[in-house]
Structure 1
Amino acid sequence: MNFPTKADETAFGAAPTGEVSKDAFLGGGFHLLQPARGGFRAGHDALLLAACVPREARGEALDMGSGAGAVAFAAVSRASGLRVTLAERSPVMAQLARDSVALNENAALAGRLRLVELDLLAPRAAREAAGLPDNGFDWVLSNPPFHPPGGRVSPDALRGAAKTLASPETLARWLAVAGALARHGASLVLIVRPDTLGSVLEGAEGRFGALTLRAVHSAPDAPALRLLVSGMRGSRAPLRILPPVILDADLRAAVSRGEADLSLS
């Protein structure tokens, strides 16, 4: 499944191959600049995650590990009261995200996106110096690295670094940073592989409660491909498992147009 459609190619920005594509999302609601070949290209995971953000969401949101910015752009397109900070460590992907913000500056989302180039696992002092203070966000969104270390890694360095965990502890550390950056009562929304659930629960322990899980399946009798996770900073409410999401043709089309509402409440 690949929801974006390739609109054209341009030399705008810098990619490992020297070529960048301009891709339309949400039926042309916004465009992203991404590596045309190689690198990490946004797809259905980002749009599934954004579909979990309520349309009435307001305040300051953080897109952790934003890549080219699909989650952030889709979230602000969906929720007009949301402002999103994109945090990305790769200089190549961060520059593409900056260029995409400029590309969409005349759209309704203009002025509600900013980018911080930073490794989020850096010490707190480095995060604060980059403009990411602790307790600064009402929403934390992430499509984090979730392929296990030691497994098959993409031969493309950018893609491998974006989606592969550096160590078994990395995802739990990611959640610890999310907890530090989130205000009390803030909402967390993630999309991960089902086999990372143990690390998610470990990282959320003592930080995020009211955890809610929804498995994503390609068909009713197929194993789950992804897991949608939400939580609330400081809550002590118990974990809930909601009915699964079945990505049939109608739902895939609705997600691609930005019309799907995948509630985690």
Structure 2
Amino acid sequence: MVVPAPAIAETVDAFHRGRFYLVQPSGRGHRAGMDAMLLASLVDASGPIRVADLGAGAGAAGLAVVSRLSSASAVLFERSPEMAEFARKSLVLPENAGLADRVSVVEADVTLTGKARNDAGLVDDSFHHVIMNPPFNDAADRAAPDRLRAEAHAMTGDLFESWIRTAGAIMMPGGQLSLIARPQSIAEILDACGRRFGGIEITPLHPRPGENAVRILLTAIKGSRARLQLRPPLVMHDDPSSHSFSAFVDDLNNGRAAYPRKS
């Protein structure tokens, strides 16, 4: 007799002050939060756009984009069948009825190349924006407590090169790459952008005044030859004694504002 695998406990969580909801694993796997919302805020457009969310997990960043931009559509690319299923569950929630027809889920490994990549749905020159929140832990770091979390957090091999290579392939000329990462990854990211992307803009994200940056927000334009710009830092908490977000960061987190490029 085949014993079915135990169901993964899940929660349904509100984002953008209830403008969309996300089904997520409870107690295991990666749970979306501010990183995904800040990543989504990097997409700023006034007309129809197609967005690819690479390594989408349960789909928080892609859903956040279409929640804020009524003319945007998104494809959520996720390798893990379990996490892709959470994204599909989110799309059939009644609370998401207003945006579900602009979002689709594709199970695909974003590190594929050539014909295999196209056959998997990662089609060349087909997206205006590509967003990504790649795994940020080195495989040698302390092991994550469960498989789903390990898959979401542990990078293996030349991760940024393979993900950014795919972003460059599936993006239309002049399209925008947006990502959030740890500051320690800047050199690898710039190397991977190489001649594929230019006009790179980097914003360090600091928890409080005087504290080191814990994330970077980076955007780049396919085919641009513009020089890199290091933008002023974003500070999450203006008051060192408070856990409240600064007004602008709170707006970004809740889909009330975008963080547009300078150029």
8 A Cα contact 1:51 1:261, kept in partner: yes
Aligned residue type for 1:199: E
Aligned to 2:17: 27
State the Cα deviation string for residues 207-239 of structure 1 (Å, max 9, x = none): 010000000001120000100000000011110
Quote the Cα distance in structure 1 between the aligned partners of 2:132 and 2:104: 16
Quote the Cα distance in structure 1 between the aligned partners of 2:56 and 2:116: 18
Quote the Cα distance in structure 1 between the aligned partners of 2:200 and 2:138: 23
Q: Does 1:221 align with 2:210?
A: yes
- Cα shift at 1:57: 5.5
Bigger shift: 63-72 or 174-183? 174-183
Q: Does 1:39 align with 2:33?
A: no
Aligned to 1:3: none
Quote the Cα distance in structure 2 between the aligned partners of 1:236 and 1:174: 21
Q: Does 1:203 align with 2:203?
A: no
Q: How large is the RMSD of aligned CA atoms in angstroms?
A: 1.8
- Cα shift at 1:18: 2.5
- Cα shift at 1:16: 7.0
Quote the Cα distance in structure 2 between the aligned partners of 1:16 and 1:179: 39
1:255 to 249, 252, 256: 252
Gaps of 5+ in 2: 238-244
Gaps of 5+ in 1: 1-13
User: Could you state the TM-score of these two structures normalised by the residue count of structure 2?
Assistant: 0.90
User: Could you state the TM-score of these two structures normalised by the residue count of structure 1?
Assistant: 0.89
Quote the Cα distance in structure 2 between the aligned partners of 1:58 and 1:72: 15
- Cα shift at 1:55: 4.9
* Within-5 A mapping of 1:162-181: 162-167=152-157, 169-181=158-170
8 A Cα contact 1:104 1:110, kept in partner: no
- Cα shift at 1:124: 2.6
State the Cα deviation string for residues 80-116 of structure 1 (Å, max 9, x = none): 1111000000000001101111115753213110111
- Cα shift at 1:264: 2.8
2:143 to 124, 146, 153: 153
Quote the Cα distance in structure 1 between the aligned partners of 2:136 and 2:225: 26
Task: From the superposition, tell whether residues 55 and 233 of structure 1 become closer, same or farther in structure 2 (CA, over 3 Å).
Answer: closer
8 A Cα contact 1:214 1:229, kept in partner: yes
- Cα shift at 1:129: 1.6
- SS across alignment from 2:246: helix
Aligned residue type for 1:244: P
- SS across alignment from 1:224: coil
Task: From the superposition, tell whether residues 152 and 59 of structure 1 become closer, same or farther in structure 2 (CA, over 3 Å).
Answer: same
